[in-house]
A = this chain, B = another copy of it.
């Protein structure tokens, strides 16, 4: 019933060696049986179900422990997998998830991203240069106005044009009208330019609405879906990514997810590498949006570099995905960002695109020129 195959989660622990080791032993219990260990007799539960310390070592500022779990306790569900990785212990300070090592037998039931880097490049017909990504805003514009912006962005050479993540189904720009107008606008621009820009609506919504909105978007000709997985649940993103009747690339937005990373330097939460890299991939994102270093958020250059690493570390059949740094990005930052990310990146420009001048098409062309020579 239990195969003996295990997956490994590496945690960083704070405290003295004694405290950290006690914490490691506690994780083995808390994340599995949550039951007095001394009451477990010999047998399957004690031998297989309990977490197992595989290694324990000192680091510069704490301890690193690798704990293995039987793959069967995940029930091969993303929700229960995440519960084993960081369920109850998310509530305990001084424990940080560092990385995941998942054997093929655990990865097998997960499809991961449908497109990944290679698929998205093919879809957008962009060989080598970084991809360009912008958001339609500000909230409060009508669907017609947003459609006009989408047209200008596509005309200006932007590859991926998404709803701002706060656009859902507000009275001033209802979902269906917005999707119809924006898809039509991008299609019109594509005919004029001969390029393949896509419009990506935000389908983050109520549980009972998400499938319907996604399907509506697909039928209207949208080229992808934007999801904020901390609002919908990470598994909802996985579901959308795996849905063969949609077959659309999925873009993950970090809204409401920040608490997992704001205290990583105090030894809490989930490391950027694991959250934006490994977990987002497992949850089906083809590109993962997060705030770039040096912007109005607080991610460091090293943290951003670790995200890029997490998007491409080998994970069995799970495809590599694009890091998509945004959040206060400006044209001036492109060269520095190329240094950190190379060309395997989706540059997300938000408000910065509008600051450049009043002619949005010209702003987009300027943005595009910055990467065109990298093809």
Contact = CB atoms under 8 A, between A and B. Distances in A.
A206 B231 contact: no
A290 B79 CA distance: 19
A91 B259 CA distance: 6
Contacts of A89: 258
B233 A83 contact: no
Nearest to A267: B262
A351 to B, nearest CB: 5
A223 interface: no
Contacts of A137: 33-35
B207 A235 contact: yes
B34 A205 contact: no
B259 A236 contact: no
A82 interface: yes
Interface stretch (A124-132, A161-169, A361-369): A161-169
Contacts of A205: 77, 79-80
Interface string A246-277: 00000000111111111100101110000000
Interface in A333-372: 350-351, 354-355
Given A35-B137, A35-B138, A49-B138, A87 B166 contact: yes
Interface residues of A, number: 88
Given A83-B231, A166-B84, A77 B206 contact: yes
A354 B36 contact: yes
A255 B35 contact: no
A89 B256 CA distance: 8
Nearest to A355: B36
Interface stretch (A55-63, A150-158, A291-299, A311-319): A291-299
Given A34-B351, A235-B232, A256-B87, A262 B93 contact: yes
A77 B231 CA distance: 11
Contact of A35 (B31, B236, B354): B354
A10 interface: no
A310 B89 CA distance: 23
Interface string A211-242: 00000000000000000101111111011000
Contact of A268 (B40, B88, B232, B259): B259
Nearest to A291: B91
A148 B329 CA distance: 59
A256 B90 contact: yes
A80 B163 CA distance: 13
Given A257-B90, A263-B263, A296-B26, A166 B80 contact: yes
A374 interface: no
Given A49-B140, A72-B172, A232-B235, 14 more contacts: A34-B351, A45-B141, A49-B139, A72-B171, A80-B168, A83-B256, A87-B166, A88-B258, A90-B256, A92-B258, A207-B233, A231-B234, A263-B263, A263-B266
28 contacts: A34-B166, A34-B351, A35-B137, A35-B350, A45-B139, A73-B170, A75-B170, A77-B168, A79-B205, A79-B232, A80-B166, A80-B231, A83-B231, A87-B166, A87-B256, A90-B262, A91-B257, A91-B298, A92-B258, A92-B296, A206-B235, A207-B236, A208-B239, A231-B233, A259-B259, A259-B260, A262-B268, A266-B266
